[in-house]
């Protein structure tokens, strides 16, 4: 067996690689540890393995290096550039340094991974993040959320670079309606006011009169004259909640839903509340249980009050309530911030698997890559952004 001690004057390769692909013609025993966009490989090989091996390296700048040898050593170390100089790279410190270097800020939604929340300049719900994007002096905004949120930031701040660390961070709710479907719906109600939940694409916002978040949806609807029809989209559970609270009879609701909140059912709540007698119950208005929760609460079926709140409303309630236990019906990512800001209180999710796979696509490594390589920029075309901004500005004006 040829070992590293036999490497006297053998090759030590310094390659500016972001990705290493390996193709070997014999069985290799691989030890893999992740690095930014690829893997760092060390290969302990048998004598049979070293007879004939072909490695293909696919690196930065389309660098291709083909090596075939009959006398290779058993251990090869690849030394990566300064951005990835060692496996123990502290991404958190590097991200914090890059923010200062590039005059960038990081905005993170309440549902983001803890490691992303920890490097963010601000963590909050959609409305709070939009307000922070509108007032920042930073040149670059790294938006750690989902794609429609980055679009909203681009509309509000057309002169800034808006980056999203993963282009696949979409939204199941936003995808339930497109601009063509909204145009057809508007033709059926030509005099209606269109209120679009912020969880929509820029094209849909451009066809809307108002945007809203779960924080201010009731206030937005109450600001519209009672005689005007309202088309509310795309979340049917938030729409049903708003219609119940405002008592609007002329409000039409699009049948869209968030896959995470739709999975939280009344039976989940009843099962949890039966065992936690003294806990406050907080529920997000997107949950499928919201309408039934409001009904049961109005009938006095609950022994305690159900607090229907946006994610930021939940944070405020957790700080102000006298309760020591809280049952939380929303995406589980918010629990990290709740526990961090209220270490003396207990927060219990209605469902441990209430997880948004799109929110969780972004991690610290991808945030680092986004800042290093200025990816992935989100830019809404001016003709769409100008129209969408009117609806967004109306949302921001109603606190």
Mean pLDDT of the chain: 80
**In this model, does residue 83 exceed pLDDT 70?**
no
Question: What pLDDT sits at residue 87?
Answer: 36
Distance CA 167, CA 110 (A): 19
Number of residues assigned to the chain: 399
Q: Which residue has the higher pLDDT, 311 or 126?
A: 311
Average pLDDT for residues 370-385, to the nearest whole number?
Answer: 97
Q: Is 209 helix (H, G, I), strand (E, B) or coil?
A: coil
Mean pLDDT of 87-112: 90
CB atoms within 10 A of CB 121: 15
The DSSP result for 160-197, as a single string, is SEEE-S-TT---TTGGG--HHHHHHHHHHSTTPEEEEE
CB 275 within 8 A of CB 253: no
pLDDT of residue 295: 55
Of the ranges 40-54, 104-118, 150-164, 379-393, which one carries the lowest mean pLDDT score? 40-54
Name 281's bridge partners: 306, 327
pTM of the model: 0.74
201: left (phi over 0), alpha (psi -120 to 50) or beta: beta
CATH superfamily placement of domain 174-259+392-397: NadA-like (3.40.50.10800)
Q: What ranges do the domains of the chain cover?
A: 4-84, 91-171+361-373, 174-259+392-397, 261-355
91-171+361-373 architecture in CATH? 3-Layer(aba) Sandwich (3.40)
pLDDT value for 179: 97
Q: DSSP characters for 238-277?
A: HHHHHHHHHT-SSEEE--B--TTGGG--HHHHHHHHHH-T
CA distance 139 to 355: 32
pLDDT, position 51: 39
pLDDT of 72 > 90? The answer is no
pLDDT tens, residue by residue, 281-331:
999 987 766 666 665 565 565 656 789 998 999 999 999 999 999 999 999
Identify the pLDDT of residue 294.
Answer: 62
- Tell whether the model's pLDDT for residue 77 goes beyond 80: no
pLDDT at 60: 38
Predicted confidence at residue 191, as pLDDT, reads 97
The CATH architecture that domain 261-355 belongs to is 3-Layer(aba) Sandwich (3.40)
pLDDT attached to residue 267? 80
* Residue 90 or residue 113, greater confidence: 113
Whether residue 91 has pLDDT greater than 90: yes
* Torsion on CA atoms 307, 308, 311, 315, rounded to nearest 10: -20
Task: Return the pLDDT at 259.
Answer: 85
Q: Is the pLDDT of residue 78 over 70?
A: no
- Is the pLDDT at 10 greater than 90, yes or no? no
Two domains, one topology: 91-171+361-373 and 261-355: yes
């Amino acid at each position: 067996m040829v070992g590293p001690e036999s490497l006297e004057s053998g090759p030590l390769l310094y390659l500016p690689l972001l990705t290493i692909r390996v193709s070997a013609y014999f069985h290799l025993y691989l030890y893999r540890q992740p690095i930014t966009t690829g893997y760092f490989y060390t290969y302990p090989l048998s004598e049979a393995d070293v007879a004939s091996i072909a490695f293909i390296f696919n690196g930065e700048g389309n660098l291709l290096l083909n090596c075939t040898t009959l006398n290779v050593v058993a251990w090869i170390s690849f030394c990566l550039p300064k951005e990835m100089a060692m496996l123990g790279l502290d991404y958190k410190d590097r991200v914090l340094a890059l923010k200062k270097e590039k005059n960038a800020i990081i905005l993170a939604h309440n549902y983001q991974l803890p490691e992303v929340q920890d490097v963010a300049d601000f963590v909050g719900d959609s409305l709070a993040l939009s307000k922070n994007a509108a007032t920042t002096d930073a040149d670059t905004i790294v938006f750690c959320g989902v794609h429609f949120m980055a679009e909203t930031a681009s509309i509000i701040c057309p002169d800034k670079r808006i980056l999203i660390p993963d282009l696949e961070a979409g939204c199941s709710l936003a995808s339930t309606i497109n601009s063509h479907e909204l145009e057809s719906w508007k033709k059926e109600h030509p005099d209606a006011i269109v209120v679009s939940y912020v969880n929509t694409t820029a094209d849909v916002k451009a066809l809307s009169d108002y945007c809203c978040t779960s924080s201010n949806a009731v206030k937005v609807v109450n600001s519209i004259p009672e005689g005007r029809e309202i088309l509310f989209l795309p979340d049917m559970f938030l729409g049903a909640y708003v219609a119940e609270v405002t008592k609007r009879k002329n409000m039409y609701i699009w049948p869209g839903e968030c896959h995470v909140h739709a999975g939280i059912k009344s039976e989940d709540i009843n099962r949890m509340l039966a065992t936690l007698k003294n806990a406050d119950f907080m529920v997000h208005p997107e949950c499928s249980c919201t309408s039934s929760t409001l009904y049961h609460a109005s009938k006095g079926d609950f022994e305690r009050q159900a607090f229907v709140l946006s994610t930021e409303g939940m944070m405020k309630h957790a700080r102000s309530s006298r309760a020591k236990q809280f049952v939380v019906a929303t995406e589980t990512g918010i629990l990290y911030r709740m526990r961090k800001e209220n270490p003396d209180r207990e927060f219990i999710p209605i469902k441990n698997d209430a997880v948004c796979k799109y929110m969780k696509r972004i991690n610290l490594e991808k945030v680092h890559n986004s800042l290093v390589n200025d990816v992935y920029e989100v830019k809404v075309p001016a003709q769409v952004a100008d129209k969408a901004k009117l609806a967004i500005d109306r949302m921001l004006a109603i606190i």
